[in-house]
Amino acid sequence: MVIIVHGGAGKIENLKKREKIILKTCELGYEVLKNDGSALDSVERAVVELENSPWFNAGTGATLSIEGEAELDAAIMSDDLRAGAVACIKEVKNPILVARKVMEETDHIILSSEGAVRFARLMGFPKYNPVTQRRKKMLEKGIKKLKEGKPPKYLPGLKKFITTELNELNKPEELNELKYGTVGACAIDKKGKLASATSTGGIFMHLPGRVGDTPIIGAGTYACKSGAVSCTGHGECIIKLCLAKTTCDAMKSMKAQKSVNLALKLANRYNCKCGLIGIDKKGNIGVGFNTQGMLCAYIKNGELKHL
């Protein structure tokens, strides 16, 4: 039984606080495995815990779009290739739970936007406000810089979309009054079954309707008989490289860490800023990133460690 979780790649603020949450999350996911739970249940439990924390870019406190809304993406997948995902879903507390319902209750893999919201309500998920004051203040600063001609470095074309309405968004009273990187987990259970799950609020100040790598099966999330992978980072580039599946495919002939290293080599070739975690079919773990940092913890042989 092995579980590994990540709290997103990039610059890590409030490190001690986030480390504590990541360690607790890993323990909660492992507890599921110890109690004969499935890998699928384990990664779901871990991601729910991180979605509930305001310190990660998923669920509560997710980053906001340029219009001040939290548009959430999530995906979950097991090694039998069953998968479910939601994209641009709003006003739900735990998008990963909705993603699993998509997998188990529908004939589809991805539901998006308003359709995903309607499905969530049908499945009994109540309306929830995921936007925090901290994220609204970040947006105010971002909008101010954008108006000064300084868009985020990963969204250089954003300045083309400045409008009169957008210029008013730097006023707190004009921001949507809705109630901190990407998170993910991979696990292997007692039966040798593998699963992965990923959840995110996406890139800060993205255009409305933007879908990142997280809900794209094979891009940010993937699991098969060879392994399970969850990615974080610049979603547009991760999508182009199908990074999660590329890593899982490598696990057919090499261990998890070598497979992750191979994927990062590919990412570096295309200047793709990212991080990823993975587990192969023998329970070996792999971790790698080419950003400033990536919070990560794992439990193997009953021992909790963090990176």
Cβ atoms of 7 and 288 closer than 8 Å: no
Asked whether the beta carbons of 99 and 185 are under 8 A apart, the reply is: no
Q: For residue 21, which amino acid is it?
A: I
CA–CA separation, 87 vs 210, rounded Å?
Answer: 9
Q: Measured on CA atoms in the order 252, 255, 258, 259, is the torsion positive or negative?
A: positive
Whether residue 182 contacts residue 10, with contact meaning beta carbons closer than 8 Å, is answered with no
Strand 72-78 with 83-89, pairing? antiparallel
Give 67: exposed, middle or buried? Use CB within 10 Å, 0-12, 13-18, 19+: middle
Which residue, chain included where needed, has tokens 């495995």? 33
Instruction: Identify residue 33 by its one-letter amino acid code.
Output: L
Query: Is 182 an annotated catalytic residue?
Result: yes
Q: What are the residues whose beta carbons fall under 8 Å from the beta carbon of 176, sequence distance 6 or more?
A: 67, 68, 69, 131
Q: Point out the catalytic residue in the list 60, 63, 132, 182.
A: 182
| Chain position carrying tokens 């940092």 | 293
Give the integer Cα–Cα distance in Å for 111 and 109: 7
Residues 6 or more apart in contact with residue 20 via CB below 8 angstroms: none
Identity of the residue numbered 163: T
Asked if 16 and 296 touch (Cβ cutoff 8 Å), the reply is no
Q: What is residue 284's DSSP assignment?
A: -
User: Residue 194 gets which letter from DSSP?
Assistant: E
Residues annotated as catalytic (active site), given as ranges: 182
